Every structure is written in C-alpha cells, then in structure tokens.
Amino acid sequence: MTTSKTIVTGGAGFIGSHVAEHFLNKQNEVVLCDNLSRTQALDKFAKHQSYNWHYLLHNYPKVRLQQIDLRNSLALESAVKGADVIIHAAGQVAVTTSLKDPRADFEINALGTFNVLEAARRNDSTVLFCSTNKVYGENVNAIALREQRRRYNFDDLRYVDGIPESFSIDQTAHSPYGSSKLSADAYVQDYAHTYGLRTAVFRMSCIYGERQFGVEDQGWVAWFVIASLTGRPITIYGDGKQVRDVLYVKDLVSAFDRFLQSSIKHGVFNMGGGPENTLSLLELVGMIEKHTGRRPDLKHEDWRQADQKVYISDIRRVSESLGWKPTVSPSDGVARLVRWVEDNRDLFS
C-alpha cells in the first residue's frame, strides 16, 4: 500500500521519529502531531530537548510538525484532515507516572486515543496503534517460573513460545497505565468492528535503538547504556533476573509497513523480539560491559509495584500474518545503541 499522507502522533518521540523517517524515505507526505511535552519531562539529560524533531527537520526538510495535544479534539481533527494513515505512537509511557497522576494518564492514553479514532473515522484513515504488553497485567506473574543464575524463565510448556494474544486480561491488577492502554486498545479494536475502520493493534514489549533517551522509568535498555557510558548509577528493582523480549526499533517499523502493504483489515499482534531475543537486566549489564569495557555502577532496591518478572511475546501471529521476523539480535542492537551514545556524548553531559 502506498500512502500519500501519513500522520505520526508522538512523531518527535523515539518510536514516532523512526516511523516518520521510514515513511519520509518512501516519499510520503509526513505530518507529526506532537506537543513536545515528553521531551521536556523525560529527556532530562539531553541538552537539546527536541533532538528527534530537529534530527528529522535537518535530514527531511519537507517534514511538518503540528504542535498539538491529542486531548484537543478540534485541533487534532484539523491536523489529520486528508490522512490516509495515522500511526498512533503518542502517549503517557511510564507506569510510575501513572501511579502518581492517574487522571492525566487516562486523559492522554484513553481520551487521546478516542480522539484519534474519531478523527480517523471522519477521514476513513487506517490506524496503527502502539499498545503495550501491560494490557495483560499481573496475570503474567501467575505463570510458573524457573529461576536460573542470571534470569527467570517460564516453567510452563504452554508458554514456550511466549504470551499469545488470547492471554487473559481479566481479574488482575494492571496499574493505571496498563488500564488506560487497555481501554485504548479495546477502542481501536471496536472501531474496526463497529465502524469498519482499518486498524492494527501492536502490543509492544521492549523496543530500543538509537535516538532513545531512556530514563529509569521508561526505556530501560537505552537507560542502562546511557547511564553506563556517563557514569550514572543504575538502580535495579528486584534481583535483576527479570526478563523481557527486546526488539530493535527498525524491525518494529518494518512490521508496521508490512501491515500497511497487506490486505488485512484488522489485526491484534503481540510485538517484540520473541523467545529468541530476550534479555534479563543482569544479562544486559554484562552485554554493556562487553561492548564498552565498563562495569555499570549498580544498586538494588525492592521490587516495583505492577512489575512483570518475565514477559516474552509470542510473535507467531505477526510472523505468519505479515511474513515478518526480527532481523537484529540483541547483541547487535545494543552495540548500535552504544555507538550512538558514544558519538553523541554531548547530549548527555
């Protein structure tokens, strides 16, 4: 599918800027909808608060930015007029922030997504939504685990391929963040069923890569790299054996593009590196030490509320539906991230 106008909400953020770059390289008209609030709130070590936006503008002068808040439905509707595709990557992204301010979390993630869908319905736009593995909540923690020296693994053969899309979302705690994203996730699905909108929900695990200004609360792979290279301490909550499947950002964007080129009307996909691309926190620390020759400065605190000890995406549905699979291994991807941070040290001083 070739689109003429692509809207990227959160386009000045990490994932959004990579999405924008991909479609700009395909000669699409790309408009970013971003209020730039996250850069101000989370990129606290970056000298340039709008790094990703200025990166895009420098390399792609035709890119446009509409500086709007998704909670402003009228401004959003005006910005997306005539859009063929809306890739909805904007949102409140940290569990810890949602615990402190659940109202703002709800308004940004649930109401903001509702406004995107209403604008898309008026334009008959395709919507790709960046959801999260947190929609499954603490049900994941009920799966039996096997403890090893540096990691936990699922100890239940039903989940040898990871968590499937059919995994229960009910009768469990989610955190306000997980609840707001689950609400948005359900609305995206319902707009396909009720209004015939073409939609895709990507329930993402840990996405990482260059231009990610990770902090302790969000973007842990990038945060560990940044902290290690700049001499900042890293706090590990729990024992460090928690495991996630990790996915290099360009592999994620490739899956988005494959959906748009497919004939699939609606899909829900667990999105990550899958069982072959997993890391525990301790394993990432060792990998960073191998790539940099530096041992990160670690300290330990108690487990955080609503943390999942192990989450691994079952990616068989997305692989079979879209003919897609991850191409960048964790070792290669982390090495690329290390090089980017080393080449841009002035951003973190």
- pLDDT tens digits, 174-184: 999 999 999 99
For the chain, give the number of residues: 349
Q: DSSP character for 160? A: T
What confidence tens digit (pLDDT) does each residue in 32-57 have? 999 987 544 444 555 556 899 999 99
Tell me what the pLDDT averaged over the chain comes to.
94
Give the C-alpha distances (Å, rounded to integers) separating 311 from 178, 261, 280.
Answer: 14, 29, 10
Confidence at residue 43, expressed as pLDDT on a 0 to 100 scale: 47
Q: Cα–Cα–Cα angle for 17, 271, 45, nearest 5°? A: 40
Q: What's the domain count of the chain? A: 1
Domain that holds residue 57: 5-348
CB atoms within 10 A of CB 108: 25
Closest CA to 82 of 64, 67, 107, 101: 64
Looking up residue 21, the CATH number of its domain turns out to be: 3.40.50.720
Give the C-alpha distances (Å, rounded to integers) separating 236 from 281, 285, 295.
Answer: 8, 11, 14
User: Which residues have CB under 8 Å from 298's CB, separation 6+?
Assistant: 233, 234, 235, 236, 240, 285
One-letter amino acid at 179 equals S
Closest CA to 228 of 301, 300, 294, 299: 294
pTM: 0.95
Closest CA to 245 of 149, 342, 140, 144: 140
Report the relative pairing of strands 298-301 and 206-208 from DSSP bridges. Answer: unpaired
Kindly name the residue from 136, 159, 177, 311 that is annotated as catalytic. Answer: 177
Confidence at residue 34, expressed as pLDDT on a 0 to 100 scale: 95
* Residue 55 known to be catalytic: no
SS3 111: helix
- DSSP letters, 255-275, are HHHHHHHS--SEEEEEES--T
Closest CA to 131 of 88, 99, 174: 88
CB 208 within 8 A of CB 219: yes
pLDDT in single tens digits along all 349 residues of the chain:
455 799 999 999 999 999 999 999 999 999 999 998 754 444 455 555 689 999 999 999 999 999 999 999 999 999 999 999 999 999 999 999 999 999 999 999 999 999 999 999 999 999 999 999 999 999 999 999 999 999 999 999 999 999 999 999 999 999 999 999 999 999 999 999 999 999 999 999 999 999 999 998 889 999 999 999 999 999 999 999 999 999 999 999 999 999 999 999 999 999 999 999 999 999 999 999 999 998 889 999 999 877 889 999 999 999 999 999 999 999 999 999 999 999 999 998 8
Q: Residue 278: which H helix or E strand, with range?
A: strand 278-280
SS3 178: helix
Ramachandran category for residue 54: left, alpha or beta (phi over 0 → left; psi -120 to 50 → alpha): alpha
CB 34 within 8 A of CB 67: yes
